[in-house]
Amino acid sequence: MRLLLFNLATDVDDPILGFTTRWIHALARRVEGIHVITMQTGRVEVPENVRVYSVGKEKGYSEPHRAALFYRHLLRIPREERIDVCFSHMMPVFTILAAPVLKRKGIPIITWYAHRQVTWILKLAHHLSDRMVSIDESSYRYRHDKFEPLGHGIDTSLFSPGNTHQDNPPLLLSVGRLSPIKDPITLIEAVHRLRQRGHAIRCILVGEAPVRDRAYAGRVRQRVRELGLEDAVQLVGAVSNDQVVHWYRRCFAHVNCSPADHALDKAGLEAMACARLSLSSTLGFQQTMGPWADCLLFQYGDASDLAEKLSMLLALPRRKVEQIGLDLCQRTLQMHDLQSLAERLVKVFAQVRR
């Protein structure tokens, strides 16, 4: 099978999208070849049977220039080599742009989309795709007539339990961009409440603010100062995937404060894969958390509820905490392992190809 893959960024060092390179590696082991058309590149490390073509966002090309390059690649690749299936990963715009060309050539399109927003772009991409795939039902809010849930793709060879000891005092970790949707202020408020109760804890926020949220990031820092938490809360900025795994292994718990109806957050699952407690206000985590959901899920935006859950977990014997972490790790392996996702994707490719 030969695959055409649309990707937002193909860059091993990208702190948010670096994982897509690992997806490419996993798929490349299961197909004859892959041609990747990507919005932008950075450091590209792919197998020999993969070719990557950028439309030049990293070079500052304008949208018309990028569109022209996209069609140049799209028209040339199927002309020079047989393409069996197109997989559009979080790129509904590319799905729409490519559909007239691919449908004329009889090449089916599978689009991956994991976000709570339902836009006209998504609706049109849904109509033009042969299959829509995502993590689970909570991660895809549009029609389910073409939909198939496949789980997340966590590289459990990288995100795994290690020999790193947890920090003392206990470390709370939150990995994600500094944006209102991630609500780091709720975590900061919970840290304040825990410190008032005598818990000697620290908190690390890993991630940068997008340009549009720079003012919000300033409010986050201001709230840290207002609560006198400069010695307890640290913002370390964005780090690579290879570096963030060490933060997971050092922490007592990872905390995700996204809305209840948010798509399943990758960072929360990565922490579980490292056998760490992972608290969230997103209800989609309930299935993966299994029997531990009652003590790991908290009310969205409720710092008091989060502080109560953390206080209870901090009081548990170390052996119990380790038991919960290992169980979460096993559940993540079963439901969200990258290699298993790649197998499921290839089966979907074969189905639509037939």
In the prediction, which pLDDT does 163 show? 80
Residues 293 and 240 in one domain: yes
75-126 residue pLDDT tens: 999 999 999 999 999 999 999 999 999 999 999 999 999 988 899 999 999 9
User: Residues 126-147: what's their mean pLDDT?
Assistant: 94
Number of residues written out for the chain = 354
Dig out the tokens for 140 from the structure: 């895809």
Tokens of 8: 């937002």
Query: How are the residues of the chain apportioned to helix, strand and coil, as percentages rounded to the nearest 5?
Result: 45, 20, 35
329 shares a domain with 264: yes
Same domain? 212 vs 229: yes
Q: Does residue 185 share a domain with residue 312?
A: yes
Is residue 166 one of the residues assigned to a domain?
no
Same domain, 217 and 255: yes
Query: Total structural domains in the chain?
Result: 2
**Domain-embedded: residue 18:** yes
Residues 139 and 219 in one domain: no
Do 82 and 207 lie in one domain? The reply is no
Which CATH number covers residue 141? 3.40.50.2000
Are 56 and 136 contained in the same domain?
Answer: yes
Q: Are residues 114 and 92 in the same domain?
A: yes
3-state secondary structure of 282: coil
**Do residues 319 and 344 share a domain?**
no
- Does residue 81 sit within a domain? yes
Residue 82 has a pLDDT of 95
- Cβ pair 274, 248 in contact under 8 A: yes
Q: Which of 95-109, 161-175, 284-298, 309-323 has the lowest mean pLDDT?
A: 161-175
Terminal Cα distance for the chain, rounded: 12
Residue 161 lies in a domain: no
Instruction: Look at residue 164 and tell me if it is in a domain.
Output: no
Co-location of 254 and 346 in the same domain: no
pLDDT value of residue 272? 98
- The pair of structure tokens assigned to 129 is 């795709």
Q: Phi and psi (nearest 5°) for 283?
A: -70, -20
Percentage of residues in the chain having pLDDT higher than 70:
100
Mean of the pLDDT values across residues 130-157? 93
> In terms of DSSP H, where are the helices of the chain?
19-28, 63-80, 92-104, 120-128, 184-196, 214-226, 241-250, 266-273, 286-289, 293-296, 303-314, 318-336, 338-353
DSSP classification of residue 47 = -
Q: Categorize the per-residue pLDDT at 166 as very low, low, confident or very high, splitting at 50, 70 and 90.
A: confident
User: Does the structure show a pLDDT above 90 at 242?
Assistant: no
| Residue 163 in domain | no
Dump pLDDT digits (tens) for 199-215. Answer: 999 999 999 999 999 99
- Please state which of the ranges 180-184, 241-245, 291-295, 345-349 shows the lowest mean pLDDT: 241-245
Amino acid at site 327: D
Residues 344 and 329 in one domain: no
CB 177 within 8 A of CB 207: yes
Task: Output the six-digit token pair for 258.
Answer: 């996204």
Residue 49 lies in a domain: yes
Per-residue pLDDT at 164 exceeds 80: no
**Residue 82 in domain:** yes
Tokens coding 39:
């919005």
Structural domain boundaries enclosing 257: 171-335
**Per-residue confidence band for 354, with pLDDT thresholds at 50, 70 and 90:** confident
